Structure 1
Amino acid sequence: MVGFLIKRPIAVLMTFLGLLALGLVAGRLLPVSLVPDIDIPRISVRVEAPAYSARELESAVMDRLRMHLMQVNKLVELKSEARDGSGLISLEFDYGTNVDLAYIEVNEQVDKAVASLPRDMSRPAVIKASASDIPVFYLDVSLRPGGQPEAAGRHGEQAFLELSNFVDEIIRRRLEQIPQVAMADMSGRSFAEIVVTPRTELLQSIGLLPEAIENTIRAANLSLGNIILRDKQFQYHVRAGGQLVNAGDIAGLYLNHRGRLWQLGELCHIETRVREAEGMVLSQNRRAISLAIIKQGDARMQDLKTELHQMVSLFENDYPHLQFSITRDQTKLLDLTLANLGQTLVVGALLAFLVMFLFLRDPRAPWIIMVAVPAALIISLLFFFMAGMSVNIISISGLILCIGMMIDNSIIVIDNITRYRKQGKPLYEACVTGTNEVFTPLLSSVLTTCSVFIPLVFLSGLAGALFFDQAMAVSIGLLVSLAIAITLIPVLYYAIYSKKTVTARGLLARLNPIDYERLYTRGFHFVMRRQWVVWGVFVLLAALLPLMLAVMEKERMPQMQRQATLVWIDWNENIHVEENLKRIDELLQQLGDLVEQSAVQAGRQQFLLESLHNNTRQQSLVYLLAASEKELAAIEDLTRTFVGRRYPRAILQFREEGNLFDQVFGDRQPPLELRLRPLQNFGSELALRLQQTIDTLQQALPHLHFDPVPLQQNLLLEADLQLMALHQVDMGSLQRSLSRIFNENQVITLMDSRAFVPVKVGSRQGDLHQMLQTTTVTSRQGVEVPLQLLVSRSRGADLPVITAGLEGEYFPLALEIQARQLNHTTQTIQQQMQQSRWFEAGFSGSLFARQVLVKELLVIAIVALLLLFFILAAQFESLTLPFIVLLEVPLAMAGALAMLMLFGVSLNIMSMIGLVVMAGIIINDSILKIDTINRLRAGGMSLLRALYTAGHYRLKPILMTSITTIFALLPILFISGLGGDLQKPLALVVIGGLGLGTFVSLYFIPVFYYYLYRTKKKGR
């Protein structure tokens, strides 16, 4: 086939030019994102029940939902959180579960549970998650200082209400018209309500009950629905006129009392005002409305960024009184990451080409490779497009990993052709013979490298999804480069060298003064005469390997440099949203210029998606961006000091969820989560028992920090049923009177042109004791009974959030411990629980997941080695030769782990994957060397002579392939950003393994081969 292609160079070149054109077009069409677009196997169920407390919601709703949702297939983890007025159930499934089918099944179970839920609550909402559902930007909209009245005071509240409606109706809709935007999730807006406050003195003087006003408003809100009237051959839709729309319509209603008509405006004070906020958003210390921009799954991130910035520019021109701020911009991270990786790709390739110039000592051969490698990269993009992949940090890193191996394939073909030309063969015959000779070992090398990725499909969780793109990128790149090396390289070589002879003299020959062939000969003679040294080093490194594995720190993902953090604060006090914001403002003032950008989500948020945090009124989530990692550390220290000194009861957490990668693949659990399950119903004493248990654990484990139990102080109003029966007051009348006191007595809901507006009949706010004294309840006989006679007041405390799982209700405690402390910590806690007998201890956390992951990776490594053995045995037609090659793997692993320890890098997913990949790369040189030895021995050469000659034949390719691969990865060690931090462990492993593995291929493999075949030699 090679000869056929050499005789048709124009056809070959036109074919590759066509593929290059298709690759360039495909590259422009490929989606660009930070991480692969995958279905995250998580589904959440959100419950809204404003009238229920956390404890009532847990017993009446959440517990029943859990009973049904436990029956969903492939469910791994279920966690529910009940808060006052809302609840959230998070379900996590096995990776590989069809999320669409799971979504249908969860909805079916919710439908089954609805019949047993309270009738006054809406159906729970089921939300499916994917990587594209994570916000790419946050666009914060606020009133510009000096433009219109700011959000302070009654007038400012009205201005912010108008801003809320404007953002919802205009800004959000225009953003969602951008093709790349899937939705704009919104939070921080305010809503209107109409409050009817009866004039109590006037009503008492004329003997009118508040219930009469409520009935008048209900009766006036007439809606006939869809009524059709037929009149002979015509028909008409009947609509009711005079429907209520605003506060003025309510004030104009008439009420007939004892023969006199009263307007409600005379009897009540009626106003439209802003509903009390349960949560707010601050942007750069100003109240704002936050829009979370969710991109379409197949959209290019850069296109979205361009369109959004153009739209924001239009907004700023059209609405100069508004201020628009883009925060938590993931595209900046993507741009920086891809730019760094692209720069690494170019620098690595240039270093590799420089090495080729020095080794080949020929100014023409490296230019062949300089054409072949970019062609392989561009054509790989075509196959990316055909495979439905995207350009992200994982796939780009895969291309960087295989660029050195792409160069290796080309080097081996060129070097083999050059060797035959030096032996005096004609150019055509040298091209054909040299290419055909290395095709089988090259194919075996590519298959062995690709085969190590096959066992990664058994990696559970999202880590398996993370490396699918990397495995595909490496496999596609290597197969394309193999095709180019076998088809395009000999054609270009023949075309370039057809008029000139090979020369090794000149400037390039003088630039490389190192006589590596002479050095290799000395080393070969040394190891063959002192073979005990080789075996001694082998035993030493093999013994050190398990020791290094045992002492190395293990974690799930590598440590990454951060410039931003999310600070979650639970003030652990009964404070309202305004006080929450005041404390956050104090914190931001304390941090000062250290913070380049800030965004605050205080209290409950209105985002629809589960991935956006849902807090209570006393909790806040603060996004802080610093100029560098050093300043971020100073920010975290200042925050701990300020909160600990000013608000010692507060609970503080720093979350590394500032980017898409962290949110998709980061640990969602602390290293160890202690789950305290009550063994009996403690009732109101639950919080006290919990705190006593935590205090006991703190004494038993003084080196750990246990957060105090978060408490929510409640005011309990208990009805006196005996007095209610005596005065003939029913519970409904008592409840309505209490609702009027707290302005929660909603009568009807009006629909204006913008939104639904609730109408409430309440009373003027004042001191609770005074309101209880002045408020009366109407008995069934029409007698006014003072409210304070019928209720008693007391105070209590309960948990603000009630957490439960598959095992039932529990209280979670996050513990920051190291892996070596796990057994001692869990045993101590179990002993304390057995002594108290109040709670049962359960354990969860990322440390257990890491243990499972390490076991899985060890199994994967064993399977990968077995696959390598099978491929090598098939190639060599021998069951013994593969062992010679595989003996190189533990030695290279020792070099890789030594490199990790030298740079202080932990053993994580990336480094473990690097070990598996390195095992596939490192044996390629040995495969080619053993294949050459076998051919020489088959030609009649003696064993020692074959070992020596094959070593010289393959010396230059082995050195060049190893050095070019190392140089291609070397720039990764010096770049910053997410891509560099993610790939550094893998690069270190491959560099360390290749460095030692090259030495093993040159000197150890001949010794191993000699020991295996020396008996046959003696027999001859």
Structure 2
Amino acid sequence: MPAGDITSRERMLEIRLDGRLSTPEDFQNIVLRKVDDYPVRLGDVALVEQGVEDDSLIVRANGQPAVGLSVLRQSQANTMEISKRVRAEINRIEKTLPEGMTIIVGSDDALFISASIREVLIALSISLALVIAVIVLFLGSFRTALVPIITIPVALIGCIGAIYILGFSINLITLLALLLAIGLVVDDAIVVLENIKRRIENGEPVLRAASEGTQQVVFAVLATSVTLIATFVPISLLEGQVGRLFSEFGLILAAAVVISTFVALTLCPMMASRILQRSKSISPAEREEANPDASTHLPETVMSRGYNALLKRALDAPVVVIALAIVFSLGGVVLYDTLPRELAPREDRGVAFIPMTAPQGSTANYTDSQARIIERDLLPFQEDGSIETVYSIVGWGNRPYRGFVVMRLAHWDNREASQGELVRQMRPITRRLIGARAGVASPAGLGLRGSSTPLRIVVGGPDFEEVKQAAAELLRYAESNDNLINPGMDYEENQPQIDLKLDRRRADDLGVSVEEIAFTLQSMFASKKVSSYIDRGREYPVIIQAQKKDRRDINSLENVFVRALDPDSGARKLVPLSVFVSATENAAAAQLRRFDRLPSITISAGLSPDYTLGEAVAFMEQGAESILPSSIKMSYSGQSKVFKSASSGVLLSFSFALLIVFLVLAAQFESFVSPLVIVLSVPLAVAGAIYSLTLMGISLNVYSQIGIILLIGLMAKNGILIVEFANQLRSTGKTVREAVLEASILRLRPIVMTVISTILGATPLVLASGAGAESRIAIGWVIVGGLIMALILTLFLTPLLYNLMAGLSKPPHSQALETQD
């Protein structure tokens, strides 16, 4: 510490007194007092040693004593880069370790991320190959197919640029967006190219076909692109943790659509004018002449003729078609209520864990004995190679009655059983454990915490007594459900404690203050911090406490003395603490908590493998209606809170997307009739998605709900192609029926091509396996199933609705004439 300075004529020297104590010997030599001129030092009456602040934490790796080290990722840091550098450092350090000592990686998030990215990249390659194959198959020429194919790399490179500009990273969400973009970015190019190619096949010169063919569909291309972007915006505006993740998804898809639209309207016509050629059967003279019917000449293919015949029958039987569509949609509504609901699908992340809770007041040694039982029962899984590492922590969270066992599973390529199957096989281990409460759990998707107890119900009220009674009844209700694992609440009066009652009058008579008694108790039993010291540049606390043998039970209090005033001699003598204090053993709650400023108790539980969070929340809400009085408030925390907010947020986003699409189309068509015809096909797509989820046994989660929102834009695209072209034909004087028939047949091939491209682009998601496959399967089946099941009905329902409703609005040329007049 500063102690002044010495100043001479030419120099000034600062004086600093080094009064710090830095070693145990320094503290041992502290003189407490002198007795008969003999100094009594701290080392004479106390054991002074360097140690750990809390020695109740026990760590083991594969049954061997270990020291745990966690590496926490900073915001915006790259998890895979951190893992790579840490593993490189481990390899360097291992060479210097003593014999018999090793470093084991108990858990590494980068393993799941790298495996998932690899699976997505494989799916992206397969998707790219399938989309190219279907384009070549429909166009019948690889040379011709180059026009839309070139859109894919241009759009993907542009998306990577957008990821960089927006400050995103290449992660699972952005890669998923790129994968889905493959099927979307070729749609506009297919529409432009197909129209140009059809006009050339009908005898129009190549350059004119490229120019006028593009102009003919430019409105449809812009309308479909704006519609798609309008559906991505609500996804990007989702709130909370889920919204932050999927905002990248929506923005990258929107960027892909913008880039592909620009390419389709600029690069594709130019390439088509250079690549496409007229049929050799056309004479040179005819090549120079324009065919006035080239833009509307109907194709003569088996598919077109068959569709024409069926469409005419459908238009003649509107009641039957509408009835089928209504029944199809209502079936989806009925099945929607039966779908299981959860926040995110349970992914195979290559890790499982067993949180364990011993009775309140248990020591670390007792909890460790229960952890060893679990480790012993897990040995068969290690021997057959299903588990690579078992990492145990006892005294987790500075609570000696808590334990945590982490099992790092073998790599996905090296095991046949999935994570879910292994978890089911491990559940009997925790059920046989009678000395502690435990359950096997898996990490939650989307990086959410609280995987061991996804169900968290918070009961709040005016006072703890009333809240305690209500929570106890709700807990008994939860215990009646076998699908809820280890239900419990954070208010349990089972924490053993010793209540001390102070005789203040006697303490006053002996001149002992309450502060002195409290200080003595804290010094002996509370590990009181009294000072600090510096070692190797870091500051550490100095803690005083009684030795372990002097603080084992309630009788230890009898060996505690304080200095009291002797009424006869006036001197201060040591008096047993029991003179002032009476001790009784009792039990109480470990903590009292508040939530939303109200006294509260949280009921939590794990979920069985086949029981979803949505079912658990609905079960507890049903019980709360009949159990909780009006003065008690029920709310949610943890994953349950995220689930409730995400569910309502996605539903709001779906409604918002539908409204935006309708308003955007109304502004583009300058009519409410045409947008209504287009939007009425959306329920068929949603119903198709629900049918596919039901058939495949997939839950309604964030991924599948995002896929349903995407279906709004995908299905609206088909309707736009038919309705916009029918409006053009009506403006030439054709009747509504003639216009919709001709438009539907002319747009059949591009509609089928774009839908099949989108379906094949998402097919690798449906066939996904390995790390994180469950989330990809969920969104994949929504898109594939929704488009497949709704395509057939849409090809007949949209023309039918247009035929019935288009007469309510005037054709575009009539509106233009009225405006001029």
TM-score w.r.t. the length of structure 1 is: 0.68
1:575 paired residue number: 362
Instruction: Say whether 1:565 aligns with 2:352.
Output: yes
2:732 paired residue number: 939
CA distance in 2, matches of 1:463, 1:621: 27
1:586 paired residue number: 373
Comparing 474-483 with 939-948, greater Cα deviation is found at 939-948
> For the Cα contact (< 8 Å) 1:534–1:1004, is it kept in 2?
yes
Q: Letter of the aligned partner of 2:87 in structure 1?
A: H
CA distance in 2, matches of 1:786, 1:1016: 100
Percent identical residues = 21
CA distance in 2, matches of 1:266, 1:495: 96
2:285 paired residue number: none
**Shift in CA distance, 423/600, structure 1 to aligned 2, threshold 3 Å:** same
1:794 paired residue number: 584
Counterpart among 548, 563, 567 of residue 778 in structure 1: 563
SS of 2:764 mapped into structure 1: helix
Give the superposition deviation at 1:312: 1.7
1:599 paired residue number: 391
> For the Cα contact (< 8 Å) 1:734–1:777, is it kept in 2?
yes
Q: Letter of the aligned partner of 1:583 in structure 2?
A: Q
Q: Letter of the aligned partner of 1:399 in structure 2?
A: L
Counterpart among 893, 896, 902 of residue 695 in structure 2: 902
Give the superposition deviation at 1:978: 5.7
Counterpart among 488, 509, 516 of residue 707 in structure 1: 488
CA distance in 1, matches of 2:471, 2:711: 51
2:286 paired residue number: none
State the Cα deviation string for residues 956-1009 of structure 1 (Å, max 9, x = none).
Answer: 111111111101101101213565322333222222222233223432222222
Q: Letter of the aligned partner of 1:625 in structure 2?
A: R
User: Which structure 2 residues correspond to residues 478-877 of structure 1 after superposition, within 5 A?
Assistant: 478-497=257-276, 515-594=302-381, 595-604=387-396, 614-627=397-410, 628-634=418-424, 636-643=426-433, 646-647=434-435, 650-657=436-443, 661-663=446-448, 670-671=454-455, 673-675=457-459, 677=461, 679=463, 706-707=487-488, 709=492, 711-735=494-518, 737-738=520-521, 741-742=524-525, 744=527, 748-753=531-536, 755-756=539-540, 758=542, 760=544, 762=546, 765-766=549-550, 772-773=557-558, 775-780=560-565, 781-814=571-604, 818=616, 820-830=618-628, 840=632, 842-844=634-636, 850=643, 853-877=646-670
1:890 paired residue number: 683
SS of 1:294 mapped into structure 2: coil
Counterpart among 298, 306, 309 of residue 87 in structure 2: 309
**Shift in CA distance, 528/617, structure 1 to aligned 2, threshold 3 Å:** same
CA distance in 1, matches of 2:160, 2:703: 24
**Shift in CA distance, 710/640, structure 1 to aligned 2, threshold 3 Å:** farther
CA distance in 2, matches of 1:225, 1:256: 27
State the Cα deviation string for residues 104-159 of structure 1 (Å, max 9, x = none).
Answer: xxxxxxxxxxxxxxxxxxxxxxxxxxxxxxxxxxxxxxxxxxxxxxxxxxxxxxxx
1:107 paired residue number: none
Instruction: Say whether 1:416 aligns with 2:206.
Output: no
2:5 paired residue number: 228
RMSD: 3.6
SS of 1:883 mapped into structure 2: helix
CA distance in 1, matches of 2:793, 2:478: 53
Give the superposition deviation at 1:841: 5.7
2:15 paired residue number: 238
User: Which structure 2 residues correspond to residues 860-1009 of structure 1 after superposition, within 5 A?
Assistant: 860-977=653-770, 979-1009=772-802
CA distance in 1, matches of 2:268, 2:174: 26
Give the superposition deviation at 1:441: 0.8
CA distance in 2, matches of 1:728, 1:239: 41
CA distance in 2, matches of 1:800, 1:349: 58
Structure 1, unmatched stretches of 5+, are 1-223, 504-513, 605-613
1:247 paired residue number: 24
**Shift in CA distance, 790/470, structure 1 to aligned 2, threshold 3 Å:** same
Instruction: Say whether 1:363 aligns with 2:142.
Output: yes
**Shift in CA distance, 731/308, structure 1 to aligned 2, threshold 3 Å:** same
**Shift in CA distance, 515/819, structure 1 to aligned 2, threshold 3 Å:** farther
Give the superposition deviation at 1:380: 1.7
Q: Letter of the aligned partner of 2:496 in structure 1?
A: Q
> For the Cα contact (< 8 Å) 2:493–2:590, is it kept in 1?
yes
**Shift in CA distance, 844/669, structure 1 to aligned 2, threshold 3 Å:** farther
SS of 1:325 mapped into structure 2: coil
2:221 paired residue number: 442
Counterpart among 55, 62, 65 of residue 284 in structure 1: 62
Give the superposition deviation at 1:476: 0.5
Give the superposition deviation at 1:444: 0.8
1:293 paired residue number: 71
User: Which structure 2 residues correspond to residues 393-412 of structure 1 after superposition, within 5 A?
Assistant: 393-412=172-191
User: Which structure 2 residues correspond to residues 126-205 of structure 1 after superposition, within 5 A?
Assistant: none
> For the Cα contact (< 8 Å) 1:457–1:464, is it kept in 2?
yes
Q: Letter of the aligned partner of 2:759 in structure 1?
A: I
> For the Cα contact (< 8 Å) 2:126–2:764, is it kept in 1?
yes
TM-score w.r.t. the length of structure 2 is: 0.83
Q: Letter of the aligned partner of 1:673 in structure 2?
A: I
State the Cα deviation string for residues 281-309 of structure 1 (Å, max 9, x = none).
Answer: 33333333333323344444443333222
CA distance in 2, matches of 1:888, 1:481: 25
CA distance in 2, matches of 1:743, 1:878: 77
**Shift in CA distance, 235/639, structure 1 to aligned 2, threshold 3 Å:** farther
Counterpart among 252, 262, 265 of residue 473 in structure 1: 252
Give the superposition deviation at 1:681: 6.5
SS of 2:6 mapped into structure 1: strand
CA distance in 2, matches of 1:305, 1:903: 36
**Shift in CA distance, 867/574, structure 1 to aligned 2, threshold 3 Å:** closer
Give the superposition deviation at 1:625: 2.7
Q: Letter of the aligned partner of 1:892 in structure 2?
A: A
Q: Letter of the aligned partner of 1:418 in structure 2?
A: K
CA distance in 1, matches of 2:400, 2:548: 23
2:611 paired residue number: none
Give the superposition deviation at 1:412: 1.5
Give the superposition deviation at 1:557: 2.7
> For the Cα contact (< 8 Å) 2:119–2:771, is it kept in 1?
no
2:415 paired residue number: none
CA distance in 1, matches of 2:173, 2:504: 67
Instruction: Say whether 1:392 aligns with 2:185.
Output: no
1:425 paired residue number: 204
> For the Cα contact (< 8 Å) 2:173–2:245, is it kept in 1?
yes
CA distance in 2, matches of 1:546, 1:634: 33
**Shift in CA distance, 741/985, structure 1 to aligned 2, threshold 3 Å:** closer
Comparing 774-783 with 563-572, greater Cα deviation is found at 774-783
CA distance in 1, matches of 2:219, 2:306: 30
> For the Cα contact (< 8 Å) 1:254–1:262, is it kept in 2?
yes
Comparing 273-282 with 398-407, greater Cα deviation is found at 273-282
**Shift in CA distance, 806/775, structure 1 to aligned 2, threshold 3 Å:** closer
Give the superposition deviation at 1:236: 1.9
State the Cα deviation string for residues 579-615 of structure 1 (Å, max 9, x = none).
Answer: 32232122111221324322233225xxxxxxxxx35
SS of 2:780 mapped into structure 1: helix
State the Cα deviation string for residues 245-266 of structure 1 (Å, max 9, x = none).
Answer: 3233344456774554446388
**Shift in CA distance, 858/267, structure 1 to aligned 2, threshold 3 Å:** closer
